């Protein structure tokens, strides 16, 4: 890698942090677990989230979204808060602020524009707005490792963060991947209220409380009513028990609240026992 390439990567990272992202890493535009994703889809683990299968080809190949894509700039935005009161009980942490797509989009677009201008390249931003396997690419970039609960975990940050990506045709020097630090721990697999994990790194979304309360279309089967318990929108159990979140720092800048109370907001919960209306996508 040339000195110019290294200087460019440094400048891109500095700009990402300046924009307010908590972490940034650069990696190749190639997947590590595309075959796992395909198996997951083919065995019905996505439930009624048909959009994932419909965009399978794009998710497996970032170059379909950005021809000539060579590198990925992966960023993390911490959404952990210190001040959550009882009124947010039942709402997953990620949904206690304004819709994260709206919070991340302007920041990512600014980063995309910076990368394009600095590298003389074409770039495209994604925060679940394009068909991209975000965790896989972010893990390859070294933003963190995929935990047994399938969340991306960053050393010193935990997993309460959103992932955003800038795909670019620029050839940027990659960072090292972060090694898996789950070790022998199985806290998340043991604590899941609906036994949604088939094993480490393998979630059956059809059993996941987050899926059932947000994404699922149709009646919620009786067997899940008790496991869903007090959860109204999303679920954080597999993150709450994770030792890497025990000392997770609060966000430097709290994601603004969308409304004073969750009930009237865009992230309001679906009626218990009925189909979620998927007002917002995870």
Closer by beta carbon to ligand SF4, 119 or else 178 = 178
Residue 168, beta-bridge partner list: 71, 123
Closer by beta carbon to ligand B12, 118 or else 201 = 201
Q: Which residue in the set 74, 135, 141, 269 belongs to the binding site for ligand B12 (CB under 6 A)?
A: 135
Q: Tell me the per-residue interface mask from 249 to 278 with ligand B12, x by CB under 6 A, - otherwise.
A: ------------------------------
Closer by beta carbon to ligand B12, 22 or else 236 = 236
Query: Using the rule CB under 6 A, is 242 a contact of ligand SF4?
Result: yes
Neighbours of 156 (CB within 10 A): 11
Q: Which two tokens stand for residue 275?
A: 């189909």
Q: Are 126 and 165 in contact (CB under 8 A)?
A: yes
- Distance, in Å, from the CA atom of 37 to the CA atom of 149, rounded to the nearest integer, reads 15
Is residue 176 among the annotated active site residues?
A: no
Query: Using the rule CB under 6 A, is 182 a contact of ligand SF4?
Result: yes
| Among 5, 21, 40, 32, CA closest to 79 | 21
- Distance, in Å, from the CA atom of 210 to the CA atom of 63, rounded to the nearest integer, reads 30
Edge to edge, what strands does the sheet with 123-126 contain? 23-28, 71-78, 161-168, 123-126
* Annotated active-site residue in 36, 61, 113, 128: 128
Query: Using the rule CB under 6 A, is 22 a contact of ligand B12?
Result: no
Query: Using the rule CB under 6 A, is 202 a contact of ligand SF4?
Result: no
Q: Which residues are catalytic?
A: 128
Binding residues for ligand SF4 (CB under 6 A)? 147-149, 182, 185-188, 241-244
């Amino acid at each position: 890698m040339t000195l110019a390439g290294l200087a460019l990567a440094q400048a891109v990272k500095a700009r990402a942090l300046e924009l307010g992202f908590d972490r940034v890493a650069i990696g190749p535009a190639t997947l590590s677990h595309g075959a796992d994703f395909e198996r997951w889809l083919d065995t019905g683990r996505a439930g009624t989230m048909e959009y994932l299968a419909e965009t399978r080809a794009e998710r497996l190949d970032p170059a379909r979204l950005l021809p000539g894509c060579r590198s990925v700039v992966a960023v993390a935005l911490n959404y952990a808060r210190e001040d959550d009161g009882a009124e947010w009980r039942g709402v997953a942490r990620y949904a206690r602020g304004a819709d994260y797509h709206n919070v991340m989009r302007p920041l990512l677009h600014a980063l995309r524009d910076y990368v394009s201008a600095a590298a003389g390249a074409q770039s495209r931003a994604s925060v679940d707005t394009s068909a991209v396997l975000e965790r896989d690419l972010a893990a390859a970039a070294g933003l963190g490792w995929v935990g047994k609960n399938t969340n991306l975990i960053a050393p010193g940050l935990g997993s309460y963060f959103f992932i955003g990506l800038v795909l670019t045709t620029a050839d940027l020097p990659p960072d090292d991947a972060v090694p898996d630090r789950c070790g022998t721990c199985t806290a998340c697999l043991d604590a899941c209220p609906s036994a949604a994990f088939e094993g480490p790194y393998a979630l059956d979304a059809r059993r996941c409380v987050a899926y059932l309360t947000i994404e699922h279309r149709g009646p919620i089967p009786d067997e899940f009513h008790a496991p869903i318990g007090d959860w109204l929108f999303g679920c954080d159990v597999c993150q709450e028990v994770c030792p890497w979140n025990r000392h997770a720092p609060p966000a430097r800048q709290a994601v603004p609240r969308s409304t004073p109370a969750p009930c009237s907001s865009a992230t309001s919960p679906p009626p218990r026992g009925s189909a979620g209306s998927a007002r917002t996508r995870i």
